[in-house]
Structure 1
Amino acid sequence: MFKPSMLSLAIAACCFSVSAQTETTTENDSIEKIEVTGSRLKGVDLEGAQPLVVISSDDIKKSGANTIFDLLKDVGQLRGGEGTFSTSESGATSTSTPAGQAAASLRGLGPASTLTLINGRRVAASSFAAGTQNFVDVNSIPLAAIERIEVLATGASAIYGADAVAGVINYILKKDYEGVELNASYGDSMASSDESRRNLNLVVGQQVAGGQLTVFADYFDRNAFSAQDRDFTRSPLLKSSYSYLPKNTPNIYYDSVRSGDELATPGCATALVTTEFGEKICAYYPNEDDQLNSDLTSYSTGAIFQKDFGDISWNTDVFFSNTKSVAISSPAPINQLDDSEGPYVDESALDIFGPAIRDELLDQLRISRFETLAGRELRGFAFDARFGTPRTVEIETDALRLVSALSGSIGDWGWESAVIYSESKSDQVATKGIYNRYKYHAALAGELCSDGTIASYNTTTGTLSCSSGSLGAMYNPFLQNDSNNDALLALAQEMPTRKGKSTVMGWDARFNGDLMEFNDGVISSAFGLEIRKEKITDTPSDNAIARAENGYLVDVFGFGSSLSAAERTQWAAFSEFNVPLASTLDMQLAARYDHFDDFGSTFNPKIGFSYRPVEELIVRASYATSFRAPSLTQAGVKLRTTTARFDCGANQAVADLFCEGFGDERGNNVLELGNPQLKAEESNSISLGFALSLSENSTLTVDYWRFEHENLVDTNMTGVLARAIGDASLRHCGLVPEGAQGISFDAALCDVTDSAGLNIEQSGANMAEILDAWVAYDDPRFAELPLFRDHVLLLENTGEQTVSGIDLAYDHRFNTEVGTFGLSLDATHYLSFERNKAGSDEIEELIGSWRYPETVAGVRFNWSKGDFFSSISANYTDSYEDDISGLRRRELRELNELGELNADGSRQVSSWTTWRMNLGYDFAQTTISFNIDNLFDRDPPAAYGSSRGFDSINHDALGRSFRIALSHKF
């Protein structure tokens, strides 16, 4: 029978099966008014009035997820683009996002544009940012405490304030729980390697001291997952995707070889690689040490307490979580003391190869004099290498949250007031693979003492001496697996640390009630005030900090720093109204004013309409403005050493001078500085759609959405390079002077001039002529202006992006004699994702480009009969272009020879579909379930533009995996 209902419309608003917002009744039959994400109004029928995705407790139980990230990664609104990430994107350098953490990003706009709430209130951001974007670590939220998750993927700053540019994810905690429930699960891949996952959680709820107490505890442990554990990722896709820097036996640097070619020394552990210059060298492939998932262990516990004191209710929730993880990155490169390539070693290092090989090598080398750290002059040659041990860091993060609220009523008006304290604190220590540059170079010259100090040199006597300890022998980088030699290197190891803390303290007061009668209805309203103070610190140890007085050299190799500290106080006032314009038409109005003590003020409105011409149909539309103030990390960054990319394809002038005219992407070491002149990111969003109840058990929703996002904050090296072509103040031979900004060139570049006698630092210099003069002067390998290091860049408002698309969700249930069947479909189709290219006003279309699939979708079939339940579901990711713009020409030549490139030089990453199966049975007090992910064990599609060989944001290399779970209620 055709029996449409508003409940089915609410179901239609979701991509998963949805738990409807129901009214709960207390013993005295009073009605609890429910607040729905996206509105502060209570007791107002907003079902279907906005595109809200709800993941219910039943969805969570049957999902097979162990963490919040596992649960969210298949939600269409969170897929596509580069915003949502997990530990698969983390590394072991100081500025990396800590392993074990994860962030959620709506619409591909980045995690900083997605507001994370717990029970409608904010959570402290991770103290360690993703680049300079602060984000909430969703894995710090205990899954055992979650009753449901509500996702609103539209601008919501008028309701919630800053950061809700792309929308809101609200985690609703369990309450009113009665009894004891124990849940346990075990999962692993079906490969021979061990990537097992273990999860145990307990929930207890009972009456205590006249109130309701719910207590939970959760334990999760996951083994690491290495690229070497799969055939697909064990070997590189391209033979030419190598690094010149091997990690075992070094190469002899081309500057020290008479032929001008890099030279492999004997003893390479792998087959020699032939380079584009015809050299045969010992090479390194990053997949050798790539960790696709880190070791992770987390503990969490907490409690939710409710108690009534007459007409006043007291609600308090508190939880604490502890996460420990280990991250690994490729071994650090070894450079000279000033960080330029090719460190020098004494010629006696070749003695280990025996007289014949030694003499043969010496015949090919240019032996040069070089000065040691202590001031001696030796004769030797330069080599090319990285350390043999991967960089390894251990991270421990503690998250604490406490919210205590009072609520009640005054006449017909309800009120609520709460205080909040939330913090995230992380400690990081490098345990392996990090070496002090000065101690290492002292060891190379035989100037390192047994206690790790550096020897002093007496120029009069020509002798070295140690203030304590004994003088060590010369460390030989070509000698492998020698205990005495390895002990010398161990003296140069350091363990830099990093400590961060992020806190949020706040108070709010909210009022709800009917304002007045209007059009045979009532205008419902909500008003509120909010005060919030945020603070963040990110402090590395001294040996990981770049300092101007030391030429911005970090004491250790391959380990930058992110030094920042900032705080801000904000207050806000907001209001919201639901106005019945007619019996079938409602209007929702909201407005919010925010004032920041360090940034200024902003006003954001929202207007929405919901139209119900018949009971089975609701048409909805909204317009809102949103904003994101510069993050505390962006506001407070003092000096951040990192790597910045620049795009030669975005600006031909940049390509001609810095990339030999080639339109690839490059990377370079930079210093990022905060910018007090930053403007807030702003966004306008619109949403238009409908929810249709086709029958009592069949529903459909379709929503069009669009965001216009302006004043994006980032560094823009492409733009700085472009501006430097005409602005001499941005051009510096050698390091950028303290207090200045711009690009650092090789100091020797100032030795050449253009036809007018001007060097590169002088106004009016002809850059093309200087490039020609440099090529004639230095005869470099590459005909481009020689960039040095530590370019100084300010964070700036780099441009804008516009993104639009359509969400579709369909849900159908029908009962038969053989059981209940269900079919659900959800899909997100991106119509456009336009963004201006970095350093250019040119607008590029990202949809269909790297990591921006045009369509993502999921379909689920389920069947249940009696106590048995089952489902099979598929997740689909559309094809998109491979990221070959950053590949070197040798890689492009190999791709072309393999026939992988299209006629226009592009390549498509194939679409990918994986299937998941779930089986379960409900006994009287016990539920057992079994999941298999990637049922047909499909490898991720090849992506040559990624060093991993696949896109680890949109795809997964784990392969077929299973999870068995047991839940028992006492």
Structure 2
Amino acid sequence: MAQAQQQPAADQPIQKVLVTGSNIAKIDAETAMPVTVMRREDIVRTGANSVTELLNTLTASTGSLTDIGGSNSFAGGASSASLRNLGKQSTLVLLNSRRVAPYALADYNEVFTNLDSLPLDAIERVEVLRNGGSAVYGSDAVAGVINIITRGDFQGVQLKATQDQSLKNSEFRTRSASITGGLGDFGSDGYNVLANVEVFKRDPVMWRSVVDDINPAYGEKFSTVAPGSGRMFGDRGAPSSFSYPGNILGYAGGGGPVPGCTTVAAGLCQYDRFSRFQAIPEAERVNALVSGKLRISDTVDAFAEVLLSSTKTTYQSAFPTYDSTAADTVWGNPVTGERLSFTSLSLPATHPLNTLGEPAGLRYRFADSGGSEAVKSSQYRALTGLKGSLNQYDWETAVGVMGSRTKSRGRGTFSASGFKQVIGDYSQYDADYTPLDPNFFNRGYVIGGQNSPEVLNTLFPEYGYDGKITQTFIDGKISGEVAKWGDRSISAAVGGELRHEKFEISPTANLLAGDIVGNGSATADAKRMTGAAFAEVNIPVTKTFEVTGAARLDKYEDFDAHVSPKLAFRWEASKQLLVRGTVESGFRAPNLTESAQSSKFAFDNGVVDPRRCPQALALAKDLRARAGGLASSDPNYALLNARADTVEGDECAAGVFSNVRNNPDLAPETSRSATLGLVFEPVKGYSVAFDYWRIERKDEIGLKSTDDLLAAEADQPAGVIERAALSSDKTFTAAEQAQYGVTTGSLVGTSGMFENVSKTKTSGFDLTGSARFRTAYGRVNVDANATFLTDLRFYSTTLGGYGDNLAGRYGAPKIVANTTVSLDSGNFSNALRASYNKSTQLRGDFFDDSYTVEGCADRGWAESECRVGSYVRWDYTLAYRGLKGWTLTAFVRNIFDHRPPVDLRSFSSGGGGVIPQSYEDVQGRSLRLTAEYRF
């Protein structure tokens, strides 16, 4: 990894190069902007097997969507990039300096580039502009720009095959293969054609196969099967009384397993829920790139490029459960806006399986639901253009079309109409939640029995989304010397772009009708034209000091024109010291899901209800204390613990619905950013760079957060926050309401529309260093990179100001760093890499009382457990090139087999104290073997 490109040798002609962040080619690659360059050899040393993995090695990279964790998102099956904690919509991803079509499904309101559609082996280098780039590239380049440059003038054929497998649990396995071919020497033949095809396959991993290797620290905190055993869930796994064929339980005692259960323990039918908890989804990808260039004359070249991609990700989900005492599930009808509710009712006394003579509770798992989701996506980009020179000017123009299609289909959630048809009407019941229908659960679906495909398809129909994006564009630019400043040249560039885009998101009919219980829905159908004009000028004020100014005007249909200016300077204070800095204004235009016709019914998960969570924690603590006084063979032992988990989850990690509509009156998000840096090279081959950065973003498009709304609930207009009546409370009985001081009904949901509601400011500095020297053992390269986060604040409408500084809080470590030391000796190349993340608190912003030291103590966690510890991971790469045409590479990830630090918050809120959230905890050390042959 480097800050600047290598200088040419003395006998080579000096060529100007175009670096990301500018439209003016220059001899000096170390520009006024902080740019990180990752070349092919750097990419190999990271051990990355995909573009997503590669970009995650950047110290400025912050958590974003991945296809591994996308099963519960609106945009499953895709991965995105994010820089500076500003989200995936504020990081612009380019391929050969031009945009790539966004993924065809928005992640709620976020539109982004799918990194999984980009071929890794076709990459020559990656250039990362670590500050705003809107003055050059337009919308979205607020936090930075990632420009992926593919190979040029490649000749010959390269075959490559890779297998990656965990040495701790062999279930973690990926395989990839690629073929790259190039024909023609552009310098002598006047043409070159490059073709690359890359295939990738990742095996699925279920938690059942690896659960015994989970860090025992989680078991000590969350185990309800074998407390103190030192293992996660004792010897059985994680048995649940929500089982198949189920349990029928009397409200005053009595009852037990449904006949036919073969896994009875503690007097109840049990189910191994880990058999359906997925750690890694299956993935298959095929990416292809074909590019070519042709010399038409001494001054004109033609070029063309086609990118094709096909991806498929398959998610397995937990089978749905039924609990007669569960809180109502609330969602809505996207067409009418009607609030819908599903109520779990008792099993009637007349049901053939109910032998208690009175209505009873049913604990059941629909193991025949077929819970799964498959997401298939295709993407393309085709462009062609001309470039050349005219006198002292260089010019380029291109025209192209791009797009993507995505189809997601899943099963495993009730159809509201289907439930009424084959089970019964859940909306008709008496004051004790007993169904008025005497044939409830006896209308076609057989509890624990064989059900026909017709019944199952009626109860669990297929549902999902079809997304489609198309864009066409034409662009052009010209650059060159326009005047003299003394004996120095003033260079300038001007250009423009026209783009048409269309975005459609269509849910299946059952989603659009609100027929899938508890599921959100998103729709979009819009199109627009955009146009842009830009200019840039570089003035060498003195031989050592230059100034660059740039501005871009973007006009989006239905929005006022927006101008993004930039000013940068570069000063060679001495041969060893370079000083540089930038100031820039950036923006992000509202995307079509935010401003044009669209609607969203969604769920906000992990919500802490400040008016009920403290009481729920107290009740859960008492329930567990009561269970602790019973023998583990007593059925009430498991029931009390299960109820404690439910009480805590429903009130302290709740899922509430959110009804959101588009807003045509939105204004663009705007930003101001600044950098100031030093590059010091005391002697040739040794350099260090320091860059301070600061970004302030305002008019952010979004919703007032649920946390903010709840923190000021009394001030909200009617209808913004919806709660159930206290009389219908399913978490607390009437006696418990009085005992624990519960005076408010359970949280149901919120309503609103997209607004320019917030702002963010963040700052820090990047430190990079490199060394190149020779020893008796070979050539040594040292590259070190670190990002220090000093300030990260989000505006709170509740406070009327910024919240706490989140640097060092949950998800925002103050220091992220990596260092790579490589040794090239003869036919061998070695690289040792260390990656470091500094410890963080579990607490988020000011309203996050549940994870303060006091909040952790209420959960029974020590102060030392109320944080995520620091972590260092060591990787090693060995490459051998002693066989003609062959390169054999071994990459060992996590060579010391260190576990990631314990994260009790993630396990508690994200996994409900049951589902692990980090597959790295059980993946351990892994080995990647690569064989590459070139001829």
Same fold (TM over 0.5): yes
In structure 2, the partner of 1:220 is: 200
In structure 1, the partner of 2:415 is: 436
In structure 1, the partner of 2:347 is: 345
In structure 1, the partner of 2:532 is: 572
Deviation at 1:113, TM superposition (A): 0.4
Answering whether residue 239 of structure 2 is matched by residue 246 of structure 1, we say no
Cα pair 1:12 1:701 within 8 Å, conserved = no
Deviations 1:616-646 (CA, angstroms, capped at 9, x unpaired): 2211111111111122222246222211258
CA–CA distance in structure 2, aligned partners of residues 59 and 805 of structure 1: 25
User: Do the aligned partners of residues 263 and 788 (structure 1) sit closer, same or farther apart at CA in structure 2, a change above 3 Å counting?
Assistant: farther
In structure 2, the partner of 1:946 is: 906
Deviation at 1:855, TM superposition (A): 0.6
In structure 2, the partner of 1:40 is: 23
Cα pair 1:857 1:876 within 8 Å, conserved = yes
Spell out the pairing of 1:370-389 with structure 2 (5 A cutoff).
Answer: 380-381=359-360, 383=362, 387-388=366-367, 389=369
Answering whether residue 714 of structure 2 is matched by residue 725 of structure 1, we say yes
- Specify which of 743, 761, 778 is matched with residue 721 of structure 2: 743
Of 202-211 and 213-222, deviating more is: 202-211
- Specify which of 765, 773, 787 is matched with residue 828 of structure 1: 787
User: Do the aligned partners of residues 381 and 47 (structure 1) sit closer, same or farther apart at CA in structure 2, a change above 3 Å counting?
Assistant: same
Spell out the pairing of 1:656-671 with structure 2 (5 A cutoff).
Answer: 666-671=654-659
Of 875-884 and 611-620, deviating more is: 875-884
User: Do the aligned partners of residues 626 and 196 (structure 1) sit closer, same or farther apart at CA in structure 2, a change above 3 Å counting?
Assistant: same
In structure 2, the partner of 1:930 is: 890
Cα pair 1:159 1:591 within 8 Å, conserved = yes
User: SS of the residue aligned with 1:783?
Assistant: coil
User: SS of the residue aligned with 2:540?
Assistant: strand
User: Do the aligned partners of residues 953 and 188 (structure 1) sit closer, same or farther apart at CA in structure 2, a change above 3 Å counting?
Assistant: closer
User: Do the aligned partners of residues 324 and 653 (structure 1) sit closer, same or farther apart at CA in structure 2, a change above 3 Å counting?
Assistant: closer
In structure 2, the partner of 1:181 is: 158
User: SS of the residue aligned with 2:121?
Assistant: helix
Cα pair 1:821 1:863 within 8 Å, conserved = yes
In structure 1, the partner of 2:42 is: 59
- Specify which of 299, 302, 305 is matched with residue 314 of structure 1: 302
CA–CA distance in structure 2, aligned partners of residues 654 and 434 of structure 1: 28
- Specify which of 296, 306, 314 is matched with residue 326 of structure 1: 314
- Specify which of 598, 606, 617 is matched with residue 566 of structure 2: 606
Cα pair 1:186 1:964 within 8 Å, conserved = yes
Deviation at 1:780, TM superposition (A): 11
Deviation at 1:847, TM superposition (A): 1.4
In structure 2, the partner of 1:374 is: none
Deviation at 1:655, TM superposition (A): 8.6
Answering whether residue 570 of structure 2 is matched by residue 628 of structure 1, we say no
Deviation at 1:62, TM superposition (A): 3.7
User: Do the aligned partners of residues 679 and 24 (structure 1) sit closer, same or farther apart at CA in structure 2, a change above 3 Å counting?
Assistant: farther
Cα pair 1:940 1:957 within 8 Å, conserved = no
User: Do the aligned partners of residues 675 and 884 (structure 1) sit closer, same or farther apart at CA in structure 2, a change above 3 Å counting?
Assistant: closer
CA–CA distance in structure 2, aligned partners of residues 604 and 404 of structure 1: 28
User: Do the aligned partners of residues 348 and 489 (structure 1) sit closer, same or farther apart at CA in structure 2, a change above 3 Å counting?
Assistant: farther
Deviation at 1:495, TM superposition (A): 0.9
Cα pair 2:690 2:767 within 8 Å, conserved = yes
Cα pair 1:606 1:624 within 8 Å, conserved = yes
CA–CA distance in structure 2, aligned partners of residues 282 and 896 of structure 1: 34
User: SS of the residue aligned with 1:59?
Assistant: helix
In structure 2, the partner of 1:160 is: 137
Answering whether residue 803 of structure 2 is matched by residue 843 of structure 1, we say yes
Deviations 1:798-841 (CA, angstroms, capped at 9, x unpaired): 31111111111111122122222232211111111111346443
User: Do the aligned partners of residues 847 and 778 (structure 1) sit closer, same or farther apart at CA in structure 2, a change above 3 Å counting?
Assistant: closer
Deviation at 1:794, TM superposition (A): 1.2
- Specify which of 509, 515, 529 is matched with residue 482 of structure 2: 515
Aligned partner letter, 1:146: I
Deviation at 1:712, TM superposition (A): 2.1
Cα pair 1:343 1:384 within 8 Å, conserved = no
- Specify which of 731, 735, 742 is matched with residue 783 of structure 1: 742
User: Do the aligned partners of residues 344 and 12 (structure 1) sit closer, same or farther apart at CA in structure 2, a change above 3 Å counting?
Assistant: same
User: Do the aligned partners of residues 822 and 147 (structure 1) sit closer, same or farther apart at CA in structure 2, a change above 3 Å counting?
Assistant: closer
Deviations 1:78-99 (CA, angstroms, capped at 9, x unpaired): 14xx4x23123211x5x53212
User: SS of the residue aligned with 2:89?
Assistant: helix
- Specify which of 472, 475, 483 is matched with residue 505 of structure 1: 472
CA–CA distance in structure 2, aligned partners of residues 672 and 245 of structure 1: 37
User: SS of the residue aligned with 2:904?
Assistant: coil
CA–CA distance in structure 1, aligned partners of residues 657 and 272 of structure 2: 21
Q: Which runs of 5+ in 1 are unaligned?
A: 1-10, 274-279, 368-379, 448-458, 465-470, 548-553, 732-741, 753-773
- Specify which of 474, 490, 499 is matched with residue 532 of structure 1: 499
Deviation at 1:723, TM superposition (A): 6.6
Cα pair 1:313 1:406 within 8 Å, conserved = yes
Spell out the pairing of 1:127-138 with structure 2 (5 A cutoff).
Answer: 127-138=104-115
Aligned partner letter, 2:547: M
Aligned partner letter, 2:20: T
CA–CA distance in structure 2, aligned partners of residues 571 and 263 of structure 1: 70
Aligned CA-pair RMSD: 4.1
CA–CA distance in structure 2, aligned partners of residues 390 and 463 of structure 1: 28
User: SS of the residue aligned with 1:216?
Assistant: strand
User: Do the aligned partners of residues 675 and 784 (structure 1) sit closer, same or farther apart at CA in structure 2, a change above 3 Å counting?
Assistant: farther
User: SS of the residue aligned with 1:544?
Assistant: helix
Deviation at 1:162, TM superposition (A): 0.3
Answering whether residue 48 of structure 2 is matched by residue 71 of structure 1, we say no
The two structures have a TM-score, normalised by structure 1, of 0.79
User: Do the aligned partners of residues 562 and 523 (structure 1) sit closer, same or farther apart at CA in structure 2, a change above 3 Å counting?
Assistant: same
Answering whether residue 776 of structure 2 is matched by residue 797 of structure 1, we say no
User: Do the aligned partners of residues 654 and 437 (structure 1) sit closer, same or farther apart at CA in structure 2, a change above 3 Å counting?
Assistant: closer
In structure 2, the partner of 1:291 is: 278
In structure 2, the partner of 1:125 is: 102
Aligned partner letter, 2:517: F
The two structures have a TM-score, normalised by structure 2, of 0.82
In structure 2, the partner of 1:618 is: 578
Deviation at 1:677, TM superposition (A): 2.6
Spell out the pairing of 1:838-917 with structure 2 (5 A cutoff).
Answer: 839-841=798-800, 842-882=802-842, 896=857, 900-902=861-863, 907-917=866-876
Deviations 1:543-565 (CA, angstroms, capped at 9, x unpaired): 112x4xxxxxx212343321122
Cα pair 1:934 1:961 within 8 Å, conserved = yes
Of 806-815 and 132-141, deviating more is: 806-815
CA–CA distance in structure 2, aligned partners of residues 816 and 695 of structure 1: 17
Give percent identity, aligned residues only. 25
Number of residue-to-residue matches in the alignment: 848
In structure 2, the partner of 1:13 is: 3
Answering whether residue 691 of structure 2 is matched by residue 695 of structure 1, we say no
Cα pair 1:887 1:945 within 8 Å, conserved = no
CA–CA distance in structure 2, aligned partners of residues 198 and 24 of structure 1: 44
Deviations 1:194-224 (CA, angstroms, capped at 9, x unpaired): 2221111111111399521111111111112
CA–CA distance in structure 1, aligned partners of residues 659 and 272 of structure 2: 27
- Specify which of 923, 930, 935 is matched with residue 965 of structure 1: 930
Deviation at 1:541, TM superposition (A): 0.4
User: Do the aligned partners of residues 23 and 412 (structure 1) sit closer, same or farther apart at CA in structure 2, a change above 3 Å counting?
Assistant: farther
CA–CA distance in structure 2, aligned partners of residues 899 and 190 of structure 1: 35
Cα pair 2:257 2:264 within 8 Å, conserved = no
Cα pair 1:33 1:43 within 8 Å, conserved = yes
Aligned partner letter, 2:153: D
User: SS of the residue aligned with 1:127?
Assistant: coil
Answering whether residue 356 of structure 2 is matched by residue 391 of structure 1, we say no
Aligned partner letter, 1:702: F
User: Do the aligned partners of residues 544 and 569 (structure 1) sit closer, same or farther apart at CA in structure 2, a change above 3 Å counting?
Assistant: same
CA–CA distance in structure 2, aligned partners of residues 921 and 967 of structure 1: 10
Deviations 1:94-116 (CA, angstroms, capped at 9, x unpaired): x53212x2111011110110001
Cα pair 1:332 1:390 within 8 Å, conserved = no
Cα pair 1:346 1:445 within 8 Å, conserved = no
User: Do the aligned partners of residues 898 and 641 (structure 1) sit closer, same or farther apart at CA in structure 2, a change above 3 Å counting?
Assistant: closer
Deviations 1:745-801 (CA, angstroms, capped at 9, x unpaired): 33688x99xxxxxxxxxxxxxxxxxxxxx9899979972432564532212223111
CA–CA distance in structure 2, aligned partners of residues 563 and 627 of structure 1: 25
Cα pair 1:833 1:846 within 8 Å, conserved = yes
Aligned partner letter, 2:760: Q
CA–CA distance in structure 2, aligned partners of residues 541 and 780 of structure 1: 46
Deviation at 1:69, TM superposition (A): 0.7
